[in-house]
């Protein structure tokens, strides 16, 4: 079998199974081996029955002592029960609606059972445990993978298929990391890493494998960034003309902060003055806190372009955000004679044709929209400036398509994630950076509190109070739906660290919405998450922004979102699960109007590190200081996580699966340093060592890196 063979070539995969696997994005054997576990059951640590605990799942090596007895109860269910023992005690093992177990468990046979102990009338019971027959001399795996699943596909089935696929194609897994670099970094081979991520031999083997895959992701991304920077150095950009900015600054109801002025000066220098008489295509990112005034800086850039006779395009990820930008910018720029249009996926045919005509004629100087801006039917007369929301920063394909409409146009990216300078220079190596470090005058401080689960009733009362006062509330949960096996898994949260997830009791947006509706029946509550269709998300967000919804229970899909000045309370559940920078972003969703606003971080995390991180959030309000604390406490992983969040996956961007696990700044900087060195000596990636690297990058970044010849 070959890596690109369809999944149906595997024994046991018929049309029905093939269809179900396709829902997981598994179409080929390669897709299957790259469908990695999301957690592990650590079954290797055997506990004695005398040491059992009802607080978490554990493994027990037990011998069956009685025959299986099955009985049908009033509900119609079947209960099968037998006794098993070890040297320290005995236990009842119970299965529901599994009559077949009478053919599995026989007196005298030994099994490794894995499950959570319960006590019924003083007798310990294992309820529906997972089990494996124990044969002396035949080792059982210490780790059992837990995969992302879909209806009709079990973890056990996926485990079996993955083992078969790995045996078939392991020799075909070619390593994109150049061999000299891999040996220099003492990284395991790709085959070793993939096998040990699926079926770890040990803690250390898993840690080495995760580190190796993280290094590969960062290396590939770093090369893409470096190639992009190299290409920009060779290009020639359009030259904007000198103009006074007073006509637009004079109509602003406030004075720009010094940081905003500096950012505008940077843009003016890039597009009007140039370097040594040459204008290269600007590629600049304006970085700053939520609400720091990046949009006004973008408006200044649009003004300069328009006064120079050029058009601008502003691309954002959602229709509601596009409408908000249009409402703000069309009014401001319209007062100085710059006409704007709004183009969305939902725009009707008649209006779409009218807008396309005005853009083609040059009448429209600013076009704001979503992915609709990428349409082949949209032709600009003279596109001189492209502005993108940060969610498209890593969506290389989208940006490249828009750039093809005017190869010499300038690029401005807006990012609401304050990033430490050292990491920013690494992540944004192809972009010049303007940092806005001040907040506009009058922006309120959002009081922040850290509370535990025992405050739940008081928290519900506080939600009710805020709504009665006319405010609105966000509640952010770490997951979309509850994960029934969550208390039985070990999740590799950071490379080399296996933490039991049993203590987390993660709040899910879907389930918690129902809890809140039950607790607060008189309050209008809605759910928002990334699995919803774009139109449905926009409708719910529009209703929340319009005041029709009092409480919005969401995942981090709202981390970068619309301005809702009426929102006065942000509650983050399981706050220890989020990076500090993410928490700061979420806190920035409130306090945008005149209302006194609050952020409540809910966490029962007991470890000192988690408490220290949340204390930083409680006492610190400067986004850059928070980001630097995040980098020091948890490494760069949280920044990679934000790149690969729900919004990023939907925008076609570069997804980090493993780099988001790393605590090691050294690993990140080493990978980006190696990437820069490779591009410096071989920008075409033509060296034999770099052949596969080039192929993988072209595939990962969707063939949009035109700098590779």
Kindly report which listed range (215-224, 227-236, 568-577) carries the lowest average pLDDT score.
227-236
Backbone phi, psi, residue 286, to 5°: -100, 115
- Where is pLDDT greater, at 66 or 432? 66
- State the virtual CA torsion across 384, 419, 218, 644 in degrees, nearest 10: -80
- State the virtual CA torsion across 599, 600, 603, 604 in degrees, nearest 10: 150
Question: Are 125 and 52 in contact, with CB atoms under 8 Å apart?
Answer: no
Query: How is residue 101 annotated by DSSP?
Result: G
Could you name the CATH architecture of 447-620?
A: 3-Layer(aba) Sandwich (3.40)
Backbone phi, psi, residue 531, to 5°: -80, -10
* Nearest in space to 511 (alpha carbons), one of 539, 475, 464: 475
What burial letters (b/e) apply to 53-66, b meaning 16+ CB within 10 Å? eeeebbbbbbbbee
- For residue 482, what pLDDT is reported? 56
**pLDDT greater than 60 at residue 67:** yes
Provide CATH 3.40.50.300 ranges for the chain: 238-436, 447-620
Question: Are 528 and 513 in contact, with CB atoms under 8 Å apart?
Answer: no
Give pTM, 2 decimals: 0.71
- For residue 441, what pLDDT is reported? 76
- For residue 35, what pLDDT is reported? 93
Question: Are 101 and 126 in contact, with CB atoms under 8 Å apart?
Answer: no
Superfamily of domain 44-140: Nucleic acid-binding proteins (2.40.50.140)
CA 308 from centre of chain = 39
- For residue 698, what pLDDT is reported? 75
- For residue 611, what pLDDT is reported? 85
Sign of CA dihedral 236, 238, 244, 249: negative
- For residue 541, what pLDDT is reported? 87
| DSSP per-residue codes, 284-305 | EEEEE-TTSSHHHHHHHHHHHH
pLDDT band at residue 170 under the 50/70/90 scheme: confident
Taking the chain, what is the end-to-end CA distance rounded to the nearest angstrom?
33
What burial letters (b/e) apply to 75-94, b meaning 16+ CB within 10 Å? eeeebbebbbebeeebbbbb
The number of residues in the chain equals: 709
Query: How is residue 68 annotated by DSSP?
Result: -
Instruction: For 447-462, write each residue's pLDDT tens digit.
Output: 999 999 899 999 999 9
- For residue 332, what pLDDT is reported? 93
CATH tag, 1-38+149-173: 1.10.150.20
**pLDDT greater than 50 at residue 215:** yes
* Nearest in space to 523 (alpha carbons), one of 463, 569, 477, 565: 463
Kindly report which listed range (2-11, 163-172, 390-399) carries the lowest average pLDDT score.
390-399
Provide CATH 2.40.50.140 ranges for the chain: 44-140
**Two tokens, residue 557:** 């899909």
Average pLDDT, the chain: 84
The strand pair at 39-42 and 143-146 is best described as antiparallel
**pLDDT greater than 50 at residue 537:** yes
| DSSP per-residue codes, 191-244 | HHHHHHHHS-SSHHHHHHHHHHHHHHHHHHHHHHHHHHHHHHHH--PPPPPP--
- For residue 497, what pLDDT is reported? 40
Count of Cβ atoms closer than 10 Å to residue 300 Cβ: 20
- State the virtual CA torsion across 629, 635, 639, 640 in degrees, nearest 10: -170
CATH tag, 238-436: 3.40.50.300
| Cβ-proximal residues to 337 (8 Å cutoff; 6+ apart), any chain | none
Question: Are 284 and 412 in contact, with CB atoms under 8 Å apart?
Answer: yes
- Our CA angle for 560, 564, 570, nearest 5°, is 70
**Two tokens, residue 456:** 């739940």
Listing from the earlier edge strand, what are the strands of the sheet with 551-554?
447-451, 598-602, 567-572, 472-476, 551-554, 525-528
Question: Are 449 and 618 in contact, with CB atoms under 8 Å apart?
Answer: yes
**pLDDT greater than 80 at residue 249:** yes
Query: How is residue 14 annotated by DSSP?
Result: -
Provide CATH 1.10.150.20 ranges for the chain: 1-38+149-173
Kindly report which listed range (136-150, 169-183, 227-241, 572-586) carries the lowest average pLDDT score.
227-241
């Amino acid at each position: 079998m070959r890596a690109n063979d369809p999944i149906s070539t595997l024994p046991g995969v018929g049309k029905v199974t093939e269809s179900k696997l396709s829902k997981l994005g598994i179409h080929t054997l390669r897709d299957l081996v790259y469908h990695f576990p999301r957690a592990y059951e650590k079954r290797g640590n055997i506990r004695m029955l005398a040491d059992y605990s009802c607080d978490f799942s554990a493994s027990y090596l037990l011998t069956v002592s009685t025959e299986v007895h099955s009985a049908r109860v009033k509900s119609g269910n079947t209960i099968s029960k037998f006794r098993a023992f070890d040297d320290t005690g005995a236990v009842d093992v119970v299965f529901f609606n599994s009559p077949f177990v009478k053919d599995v468990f026989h007196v005298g046979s030994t099994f490794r059972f894995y499950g959570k102990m319960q006590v019924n009338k003083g007798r310990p019971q294992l309820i529906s445990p997972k089990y494996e027959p124990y044969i002396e001399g035949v080792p059982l795996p210490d780790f059992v993978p837990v995969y992302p699943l879909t209806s009709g596909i079990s973890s056990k089935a996926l485990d079996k298929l993955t083992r078969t696929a790995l045996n078939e194609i392991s020799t075909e897994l070619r390593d994109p990391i150049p061999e000299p670099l891999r040996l220099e970094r003492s990284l395991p081979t790709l085959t070793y890493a993939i096998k040990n991520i699926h079926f770890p031999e040990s803690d250390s083997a898993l840690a080495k494998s995760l580190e190796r895959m993280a290094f590969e992701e960062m290396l590939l991304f770093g090369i893409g960034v470096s190639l992009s920077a190299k290409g920009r150095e060779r290009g020639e950009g359009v030259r904007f003309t000198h103009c006074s900015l007073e006509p637009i600054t004079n109509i602003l109801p406030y004075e720009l902060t010094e940081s905003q002025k500096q950012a505008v000066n940077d843009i003016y220098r890039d597009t009007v003055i140039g370097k040594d008489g040459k204008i290269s295509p600007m590629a600049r990112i304006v970085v700053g806190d939520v609400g720091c005034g990046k949009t006004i800086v973008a408006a200044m850039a649009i003004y300069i372009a328009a006064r120079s006779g050029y058009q601008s395009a502003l691309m954002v990820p959602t229709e509601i955000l596009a409408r908000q930008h249009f409402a703000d910018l069309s009014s401001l720029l319209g007062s100085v004679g710059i006409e704007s249009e709004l183009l969305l996926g939902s725009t009707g045919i008649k209006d779409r044709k009218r807008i396309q005509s005005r853009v083609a004629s040059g009448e429209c100087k600013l076009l704001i929209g979503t992915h609709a801006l990428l349409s082949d039917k949209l032709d600009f007369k003279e596109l001189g400036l492209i502005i993108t929301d940060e969610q498209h920063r890593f969506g290389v394909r989208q940006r490249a398509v828009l750039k093809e409409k005017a190869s010499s146009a300038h690029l401005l990216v807006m990012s609401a994630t304050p990033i430490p300078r050292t990491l920013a220079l690494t992540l944004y190596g192809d972009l010049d950076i303007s940092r806005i470090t001040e907040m506009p005058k009058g922006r309120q401080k959002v009081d922040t509190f850290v509370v535990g689960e025992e405050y739940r009733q008081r928290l519900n009362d506080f939600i009710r109070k805020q709504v009665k006062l006319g405010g609105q509330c966000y509640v952010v949960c770490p997951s979309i739906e509850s994960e029934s096996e969550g208390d039985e898994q070990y999740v590799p949260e950071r490379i080399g660290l296996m933490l039991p997830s049993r203590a987390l009791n993660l709040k899910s947006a879907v389930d918690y919405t129902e809890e809140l509706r039950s607790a607060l029946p008189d309050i209008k509550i809605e759910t928002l998450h990334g699995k919803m269709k774009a139109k449905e998300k926009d409708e719910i967000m529009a209703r929340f922004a319009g005041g029709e919804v009092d409480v919005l229970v969401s995942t981090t899909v709202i981390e970068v979102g619309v301005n809702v000045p009426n929102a006065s309370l942000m509650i983050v559940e399981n706050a220890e699960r989020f990076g500090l920078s993410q928490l700061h972003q979420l806190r920035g969703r409130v306090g945008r109007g005149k209302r006194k606003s609050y952020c409540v971080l809910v966490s029962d995390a007991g470890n000192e590190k988690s408490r220290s991180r949340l204390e930083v959030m409680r006492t610190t309000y400067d986004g850059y200081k928070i980001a630097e604390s995040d980098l020091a406490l948890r490494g760069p992983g949280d920044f990679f996580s934000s790149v690969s969040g729900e919004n990023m996956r939907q925008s076609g961007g570069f997804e980090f699966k493993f780099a988001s696990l790393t605590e090691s700044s050294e690993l990140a900087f080493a990978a980006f340093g190696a990437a820069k060195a490779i591009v410096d000596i071989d920008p075409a990636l033509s060296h034999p060592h770099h052949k596969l690297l080039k192929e993988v990058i072209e595939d990962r970044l969707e063939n949009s890196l035109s700098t590779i010849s």
